[in-house]
């Protein structure tokens, strides 16, 4: 049997409304580099990938100025309105290149702080897993369930002992992930990550503990935090 190959998918079609910036957040800069360039180079240089697909917004005007646009390992395709649409577009663009049993790693464009050790841990941990899984971090804070209203009130304290924060990359077989995303689309199912799609298809993804500093840049204050984390790593 041929050994399964690894492919990277980094959805980059979002506009990042919460950043209130003049460009999508993946094109904001840390140390004069696009966040997307940092993310792509960090992941691609950490593992041996057969290729990489980056779904872009159809109106993207920043990609040609990126370092990644000149990286021969990277292909692009037109992304969709939602993350799931973009990932599915990437998988459809990879048809004829990727085999059904190849591994797909999907990583957030706005997570430039993922550590190489976590990437290797994910691949090793899931190599023989029948489904695949994702990097995740156990919830450390006390969680409160809030009521509705202008000033939410505590309804109850939630047991956190079995709660994890989903991170990326998330790693699944090409064929299974494509079918799961198509199933969600057919049923009008709203999903926020690839694990959700696999769960909807009846699978149980594995959780691989990752570093909590694998943050997603979402609001302006996250830029300084990401710069600090990258400097410390």
Q: Is residue 153 included in any domain, yes or no? A: no
Question: What's the confidence (pLDDT) of residue 19?
Answer: 72
Q: Is residue 159 included in any domain, yes or no? A: no
The tens digit of pLDDT for each residue in 64-91 reads 999 999 999 999 999 999 999 999 999 9
Number of domains present in the structure of the chain = 1
pLDDT > 60? residue 1: no
Q: What confidence tier does 12 reach under pLDDT thresholds 50, 70, 90? A: very high
The tens digit of pLDDT for each residue in 158-213 reads 989 899 999 999 999 999 999 999 999 999 999 999 999 999 999 999 999 999 99
The tens digit of pLDDT for each residue in 49-69 reads 999 999 999 999 999 999 999
Q: What confidence tier does 2 reach under pLDDT thresholds 50, 70, 90? A: low
CATH of the domain at 87: 3.90.550.10
Q: Are 28 and 19 in contact (CB under 8 A)?
A: yes
Q: Using CA of residue 30, residue 32, residue 33, residue 34, what is the dihedral sign?
A: positive
Range of the domain at 70: 6-136+165-232
Please work out, in degrees rounded to the nearest 5, the angle formed at the alpha carbon of residue 172 by the alpha carbons of 8 and 56. 35
Q: Is residue 176 included in any domain, yes or no? A: yes
Q: What confidence tier does 17 reach under pLDDT thresholds 50, 70, 90? A: low
Q: Is residue 144 included in any domain, yes or no? A: no
Cβ partners under 8 Å of residue 182, min gap 6: 88
Q: Is residue 157 included in any domain, yes or no? A: no
> Residue 111's closest CA among 63, 61, 166, 178?
166
Q: Are 111 and 26 in contact (CB under 8 A)?
A: no
Distance CA 48, CA 5 (A): 9
Question: What's the confidence (pLDDT) of residue 15?
Answer: 77
Q: Is residue 104 included in any domain, yes or no? A: yes
Question: What's the confidence (pLDDT) of residue 135?
Answer: 99
Question: What's the confidence (pLDDT) of residue 31?
Answer: 95
The tens digit of pLDDT for each residue in 91-143 reads 999 999 999 999 999 999 999 999 999 999 999 999 999 999 999 999 999 99
Indicate the pTM of the whole model: 0.94
Question: What's the confidence (pLDDT) of residue 78?
Answer: 98
Q: Is residue 108 included in any domain, yes or no? A: yes
Q: Is residue 160 included in any domain, yes or no? A: no
Question: What's the confidence (pLDDT) of residue 16?
Answer: 67
Distance CA 35, CA 100 (A): 31
């Amino acid at each position: 049997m041929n050994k399964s190959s690894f492919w990277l998918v980094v959805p980059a079609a979002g506009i990042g409304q919460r950043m209130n910036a003049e460009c999508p957040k993946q094109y904001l800069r840390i140390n004069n580099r696009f966040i997307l360039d940092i993310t792509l180079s960090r992941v691609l240089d950490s593992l041996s990938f057969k290729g990489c697909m980056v779904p872009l917004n159809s109106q993207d005007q920043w990609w040609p100025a990126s370092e990644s646009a000149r990286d021969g390992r990277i292909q692009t395709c037109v992304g969709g309105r939602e993350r799931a649409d973009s990932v599915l577009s990437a998988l459809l663009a990879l048809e004829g290149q990727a085999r059904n049993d190849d591994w797909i790693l999907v990583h957030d464009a706005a997570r430039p702080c993922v550590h190489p050790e976590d990437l290797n841990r994910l691949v090793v941990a899931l190599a023989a897993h029948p489904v695949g899984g994702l990097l995740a971090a156990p919830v450390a804070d006390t969680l409160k369930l809030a009521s509705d209203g202008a000033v939410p009130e505590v309804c109850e304290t939630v047991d956190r002992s079995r709660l994890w924060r989903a991170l990326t990359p998330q790693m699944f077989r090409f064929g299974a992930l494509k079918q799961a995303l198509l199933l969600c689309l057919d049923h009008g199912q709203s999903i926020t990550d690839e694990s959700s799609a696999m769960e909807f298809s009846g699978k149980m993804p594995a959780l691989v503990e990752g570093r909590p500093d694998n943050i997603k840049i979402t609001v302006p204050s996250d830029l300084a935090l990401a710069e600090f984390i990258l400097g410390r790593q």
